Amino acid sequence: MIKLFKSSYAIIFLLFFSQSCSSALPENHSVNGGLTIIPIDIKNKPEAYFQDKRIPVLPSVNPRQWLLVVAIPLNSNAPVQYLQLKKPLKGSVPFQVSDKFYTTQALNIKDISKVDPLPADMERINQEKKKLDEIYAQYTDMNPFEKAYNAPIRGPISSLFGLKRLYNNEPRDPHSGLDIAAAEAMPVEAVNQGTVVETGDYFFTGNTVIIDHGMGVFSLYAHLSAIKVSIGDSIKQGQVIGLVGMTGRVTGPHLHWTMVVNQTLVDPLLFVPIRNIATAPAVQAKKQQPA
């Protein structure tokens, strides 16, 4: 077993800053709910895992270097964590994680069954979760970072990723994506190329589309009023995959956009900067007062 600790890790970490990598990569933000990109010097492409989940591995500009892209769960709190190399050599690679604080958002939901699901609804929810887990466990060789990601839609951001949620004053799971307010029936575009691996009506997310971008990277689009693609479709970046709606658990029309890497929810703003998404709410002109 080879352990890559201390001096060896420091060397490969410094190499990351001395050599540029693809601008298509997401932002390197090593916090809970974020992503970290770790360079490692190995001749042959390694197979790497974090918490037993396979992670994306990409070539660097250095032909003897590889970039390991690691998604960090929201509930992670250890300042030093480890990923595992399994092929062509075995080893343990440490990396640091900073603790990020997420604020709380309170929402009022009129449909009480969406806050406290009935037993039959819970059975459906559990089945849907199992299905999603199976989808996100898939790993293909397609490079998910061949192109930089684009916004699925432009509009005011109504909810950030990771917010601690209170529904009708009852605590629930943190917000799993980014909410972008938009008018109903506004077209929603694929953030990058990929393959449609799921479409359907889900209890919480309503009409939903999931695209596989490769190497365990997925995008999810929720609350759609209409779905414009089918499972198995090859999707181009910018292709319309659905229309904005308010299906599922919502308080108004908007797009809920989720990004998943190594079976872990991560902040979509690491893929597309807020300046490329958010638009300011319209400001009404003030009436001039009579002289």
Instruction: Determine the pLDDT at residue 16.
Output: 41
For residues 112 and 207, membership in a common domain is answered with yes
H or E segment to which residue 53 belongs? strand 53-54
Do 45 and 28 fall within a single domain? yes
Domain that holds residue 127: 104-276
Which of 39, 64, 96 terminates a domain? The answer is 96
Which is it for strands 178-181 and 187-189: parallel, antiparallel or unpaired? Answer: unpaired
Q: Are 96 and 82 in contact (CB under 8 A)?
A: no
Domain count, the chain: 2
> Global pTM?
0.86
From the list 2, 68, 3, the residue with the least C-alpha distance to 40 is: 68
In which residue ranges of the chain is pLDDT below 70? 1-23, 165, 168-169, 171, 280-291
What does the alpha-carbon distance between residue 96 and residue 78 come to, in Å, rounded to a whole number? Answer: 8
pLDDT (tens digit per residue) in 194-239: 999 999 999 999 999 999 999 999 999 999 999 999 999 999 999 9
My answer on whether 249 and 181 are in the same domain is: yes
